[in-house]
Structure formats: C-alpha cells, structure tokens
Amino acid sequence: MRLAVLCPVSTHAFDGVRDYASALAAQLAARAPTVLVLGPGETTPPVAGMEDRRAPAVVHLQAWRQLWTRRMEGLCGQPDIWIVQYVPQPLVAHGGLLWLTAWLWYARFVRRCRVVLTVHEYDVPWIRSVRRIAAQLALRAVMVLMGLAASRVVVTYEAERAKLSRLLRWTSRAPIAVIPVGTSFPAAAPGRHASGRPPSLVMFGQPANMSGPLVSALGRWLVEAGAGASLHWIGRSRGEILALWSTACGLPADVLDVQDGRSGEEVSRLLAEADACVAPIVDGISTRRSTVITALAHALPVVGTDGACTDDVLRRSSACLLSPVGDAEGFVRNLALLARDTGRRAEMSRAARALFNEHFAWDRIADAYLAHLSERAGAA
C-alpha cells in the first residue's frame, strides 16, 4: 500500500487544512510509504506533525494542471491510494477546481486508484444574491462530480455528513465517515494558576466564527462580575478582533489581551498557562474546530455553545459546559460557575485531556482513516 495526501495550501497562519494534511501524512508515513503533495502557493513544507523521522516525502505542484499534464509520468511515485483534502477556496484562487476534478476521475477510473475525499468545506455561506446563488450551484455540482470519483468520503463533523449524504444521495455510493480534526500545536506542560487566584481565560479563533451577542455578554461579565478574571484572545488579526470586541460590541479594549500572529510555541504556552477556554462559536463547538481540539489537548475545560454543528462526543463530555448558541445568560452562568469553582476546573481539565487522547490524538485519526479504507462497504 502506497499513500499520497494531496492538499491545497493557504498562506494564512494557523491554516487548519494544511496542518491537518501534514500531520496526517506524518502519521500515515509511520504505517506505509506516504507522500505529501502540496498545491501551488507555498515553497516550503508545513512542519506540523513532521518533527521526527516519520516525515513523508513532499512534492510541490507549480500549477494544478500538472496533475493532468503529468498523469502518465508516475506522478508522486504511483501511489495506489490518494487522500485528497478538499476545500474549494484555494482551488478557485489558483484555478485548480476543474483540473483536480478531471484528475480525480482519471485516477479512480483509469489508473484504478482508491480515492479518499476529505471534505472540510464544499459550499459557500448563504447570501441572497445572484452571484452567491450561482457560486453555490457551481460548487455543489463540482462536489457531486468529486463524490462520484471518490471510493470513500471523510467529513470532520456529524452535521456535515448529514448534509453531504443528502447532496450525494442519488449519485454516489461512497461511504461517508466522520473523522475529526486534530491539533497542529505542540503540547506544553501545564502552568495553571494557583488556587485562589482569579482565573485566566483564553479564547482561540477568528472573530467571524464567534457569536456577537455572546461576546458582548462575555465582555460585560468581565467588566461587572469577572472578579479579576483575565481574557486572552488568540487569533490572526488584532484589527479583526477589536472590530468585533470594541466596534461591534462596544466593549472596552483594556479588559482584553489580544494575542495575534503568534508562533505555535507561543500559542501552546498561552494555552498551557490558561485555566479555561471560552468558545462562543456561532454554530456550536464541534469536531471540525481545531481550536477546540487544541484546547482539549492542553487539558483546558471548555465553556462553549451547543449549536447546529455540535457533535455528541462533545455534548456528552464532562470536559465541556455547553449552552444553546442563543442563550447569553446560560453562557455567562456557566462561565461564572467555572470561574469560582477550582475543584470543578481541575476535574474538567482531567476530562479534557482524556477526551483528547481517546478521540482526537493523531494516531487515533490515522487509524480511523486506515479502518475506513479497510471497510468492505461501497466501491473499492
């Protein structure tokens, strides 16, 4: 068995799909010959999950059309299984959507490779405009074509499996598995605050993913009743964070510590020093959010939201205190409960690390891929 992990890349810091592909390839390389194939846009390989000798060979495509023009040259050592990380935005930006679709059909039906399609996203958010509706229809049509070429399909959270099953119901027989994301940040030794000190809270992720009303409620709680609790927001852009916090929500900037553009080691240190993770995610915490998984990897209790995308494995876990997305009072109530109860924080911290080890560690994720490939259901 020879494997290839194919990934469109992004120049953004903390690019989840790129890091997912590199860490997955590193884990698979310990089990079988594996090559990591990166699309155009990056000249050096990512390093997440590739710190040891398991690092796979890396191939860089200069243009997506090379998949097609070099199809007869034994591209990437002629792997018999291709694991394709699919997200449309970088493919559209680099003109790769049609080339990749055509090549997937060639790989599956001419070369008789097995194609595993990991669908991180396949659509664009709904907006009532002619252009957006046309984009949705086009991307869904491409998804159907890719689904027809896939031997197996992987999604990272349960709600996406339901949506994709409906889209592919009449066209594709490929079984769909839910395999969560992992973390691309190195684990750091916990440096929790001593009992009796105000808690240190961390929020990790982009403002676009956060609920404005819940962020407002969080800020008001810090000002009025936080009893000295501190909040550190880790993200890409200080300007985007403050645009939500101060401009949209009207909250004072001096109660928030913005940590933007940090290295992986710095992010891990900040998480290790925090007491809890605050996750007011607009569609609910889920196994597609690498920020949530990274918090669990650092043994952080999670005060989060239960929404349309929340998975049962997180709902059932004692590592998480969840309230409905629209329930600002419940969100703050959970936050206040955790802030004043150091014993509960300690119990939830242990549960968080256990949950991560059981479901979200990279060896578990790689094993899940191999198990999905070994299933007899569906086309091989």
Kindly tell me the burial class for residue 356, based on how many C-beta atoms sit within 10 Å of its own C-beta (0-12, 13-18, 19 or more): buried
pLDDT at 48 over 60: no
Name which of 44-48, 232-236, 335-339 the model is least confident about. Answer: 44-48
pLDDT at 306 over 90: yes
Greater model confidence, 261 or 234: 234
Same CATH fold, 200-360 and 3-182+362-374? yes
Greater model confidence, 13 or 28: 28
Greater model confidence, 301 or 45: 301
Greater model confidence, 69 or 346: 346
The whole-angstrom separation of Cα 288 and Cα 235 is 17
What radius of gyration, in Å, describes the C-alpha atoms of the chain? Answer: 21
Greater model confidence, 115 or 78: 115
pLDDT at residue 49, as a whole number: 45
pLDDT at residue 359, as a whole number: 95
Name which of 191-195, 274-278, 320-324, 372-376 the model is least confident about. Answer: 191-195
Backbone angles phi, psi at 45, to 5 degrees: -70, 150
pLDDT at 47 over 60: no
**What are the residue boundaries of the structural domains of the chain, listed by start?**
3-182+362-374, 200-360
Greater model confidence, 321 or 133: 321
Q: pLDDT tier at 154 (50, 70, 90 boundaries)?
A: very high
Could you tell me what percent of the chain has a pLDDT over 90?
A: 61
Which tokens in the block code for residue 323?
């309230």
pTM of the full structure: 0.90
pLDDT at 354 over 90: yes
Which tokens in the block code for residue 252?
């004072």
pLDDT at residue 77, as a whole number: 74
* CA 39 to the chain's CA centroid: 19
Whole-angstrom distance between the N-terminal and C-terminal Cα of the chain? 14
Q: pLDDT tier at 375 (50, 70, 90 boundaries)?
A: confident
CATH 3.40.50.2000 at 200-360, yes or no: yes
pLDDT at 123 over 60: yes
- Average pLDDT of the residues in 28-37: 91
pLDDT at 245 over 90: yes
Residue ranges with strand state E in the chain: 3-7, 34-38, 57-60, 81-86, 114-119, 152-155, 176-178, 200-204, 230-235, 257-260, 276-279, 302-306, 320-324
Q: What is the mean pLDDT of the chain?
A: 87
pLDDT at residue 46, as a whole number: 53
Greater model confidence, 65 or 355: 355
In three-state form (DSSP H/G/I as H, E/B as E, the rest C), the secondary structure along 219-253 is: HHHHHHCCCCCEEEEEECCHHHHHHHHHHHCCCCH
Q: pLDDT tier at 227 (50, 70, 90 boundaries)?
A: confident
pLDDT at 203 over 60: yes
pLDDT at residue 9, as a whole number: 72
Strand bridging mode 302-306 / 230-235: unpaired
Could you tell me what percent of the chain has a pLDDT over 70?
A: 89
Question: Using one digit for the tens of pLDDT, what is the confidence trace for 207-225?
Answer: 999 999 999 999 999 999 7
Strand bridging mode 176-178 / 200-204: unpaired
- Average pLDDT of the residues in 33-49: 70
Cβ within 8 Å of residue 349, ≥6 positions away: 190, 192, 299, 300, 301, 319
pLDDT at 364 over 90: yes
Q: pLDDT tier at 50 (50, 70, 90 boundaries)?
A: very low
Question: Using one digit for the tens of pLDDT, what is the confidence trace for 66-103?
Answer: 888 877 676 677 889 999 999 888 787 777 888 899 99
pLDDT at 291 over 60: yes
Q: pLDDT tier at 371 (50, 70, 90 boundaries)?
A: very high
Closest CA to 265 of 48, 107, 41, 68: 48
Name which of 138-142, 245-249, 326-330, 363-367 the model is least confident about. Answer: 138-142
CATH topology of domain 3-182+362-374: Rossmann fold (3.40.50)
